[in-house]
Amino acid sequence: DWTMAEFRATKIAEIRAQVGDRKVICGLSGGVDSAVAAVLIHEAIGDQLTCVFVDHGLMRAGEADQVVSLFRGSYNIPLVHVKAETLFLKGLEGVTDPEAKRKFIGKTFIDVFEDEARKIGGADFLAQGTLYPDVIESVSFTGGPSVTIKSHHNVGGLPERMNMKLVEPLRELFKDEVRVLGRELGLPEVFVGRHPFPGPGLAIRIPGEVTKERCDILRKADAIYLEEIRNAGLYDAIWQAFAVLLPVRTVGVMGDHRTYDSVCALRAVTSTDGMTADIYPFDAAFLSRVATRIINEVKGINRVVYDYTSKPPGTIEWE
Ligand code: XMP
C-alpha cells in the first residue's frame, strides 16, 4: 500500500545513502518541481544542500520574491539569489529564433550557476526536479523515432561540465504526484498548486525580440489574466494559463483617437502531463472582461485574442 508518506521516507533514505556527507547544489527555477526536490533533499541532508536561484528577469510579476521568501523565510534553506536580468536581456538583444533563445538562456543559466557554485566551493552532486514526463518527452515526443520539438532542459550538459553526479528524486513521478508530495512536505498551497512555468520564462512568450519594455507589458497583461482566473475560481481547473505578447501591431480606436499597438494572445489549457492538451472553454463574458481590462490597463496593447489550438497539433507554448 503505497502512499506519499512512504515515498518521502524511502527517498530520504535513498538520498542519504547516495550523498553521504558530500555537498549538493540545486538550481531553483521558481517552479513546483525544483522546489519540491529541494525541500525533500533538505529534509534528507540539511545544510549539505545549497540552492541557487538564477533570476533571469523573465519571471512573472512577483514570482521571484515568492521563491526567495519561501526558501529563506518559511524553510530557512540557504539560498543564493542571483539577479541577472541585465545579463540575460543584453544577450537576448536581436535574438528572435525560439531555439536560439532557449540555447542562449540555457547556456547563460549554466554560466551563472557555475560561477555561483564555484563561489560556495563547489559541490559533488547536482539536484534537479526532473519528472517522469521530462524523461519520456526528451527521449521521444512522438513515440516514433526521436524528434526534438523543443529543447526543454536548460541544465542539460551541466553535470558533465561540472563533473557532478545527479540527484533526481522525482524521476518516477507525474506532476499531480509531485503536488501531493509537496503538500506532504508542507509547501504552501499557492506554491504547490502553481501552474508549470517554462525555464526560459517570458522569453518564449514574446515571439520576436525580447526587451525589458516588452517583458514589462507582458507581465502586466499576464497578471490581470491570472487575477481574473483566480477570482472566477478557475485556476485549479486549468493546467496552464498565460498571456503571449505578439510582435504584431494593429489599429484600434480609444476614445476619439487612433491607436497602433501590440496584440496580446491568451492561452489556457487543460492537461494531465503537458504532453497533450485541450483548450479551456471560458465563457464569452469572462474573456471579454479580461480583454477589456487588459486593453484599458496595459499601455502598449490594444487588441486581445484567445488561442483555440489543442496540443497536438499546437504546442502549449507559442515558441
Ligand atoms: P510545449 O510548449 O512543448 O510545452 O507543449 C509542454 C510543457 O513544457 C513547458 N515548456 C518548457 N519548460 N523549458 C522548460 O523548462 C522549455 O524550454 C519549455 N518549453 C515548454 C511548457 O510550459 C509546458 O508546461
pLDDT tens column, 280-295: 999 999 999 999 999 9
Picking from 28, 17, 12, 122, the residue whose alpha carbon sits closest to that of residue 68 is 28
Beta-strand runs (E) in 114-210: 125-127, 165-167
More confident residue, 143 or 99: 99
C-alpha of residue 317 to centroid of ligand 1, in Å: 6
Could you identify the atom of ligand 1 that is nearest to the CA of residue 275? 6
Give the pLDDT band (50/70/90) at residue 101: very high
Q: Is 35 annotated as a binding residue?
A: yes
Closest CA to 214 of 235, 245, 236: 245
* pLDDT band for position 153 (cuts 50, 70, 90): low
Bigger pLDDT: 116 vs 149: 116
The answer to whether the complex's ipTM is over 0.90 is yes
- How many residues make up the chain in this entry? 319
| Among protein residues, the one whose CA lies closest to atom 16 of ligand 1 | 152
Nearest-atom number in ligand 1 for the CA of 199 is: 15
**How much of the chain exceeds pLDDT 70, in percent?**
94
Verify whether ligand 1 is closer than 6 Å to residue 311 (CB atom): yes
Q: What is the pLDDT of residues 165-176, one digit of tens each?
A: 999 999 999 999
Q: Give yes or no for a contact between 101 and 95, defined as CB atoms under 8 angstroms apart.
A: yes
The annotation status of 34 as a binding-site residue, yes or no, is: yes
- Residue whose cell numbers read 486593453: 295
Average pLDDT of the segment spanning 110-135: 90
For ligand 1, atom 11, name the residue with the nearest CA. Answer: 198
d(CA 241, CA 250): 24
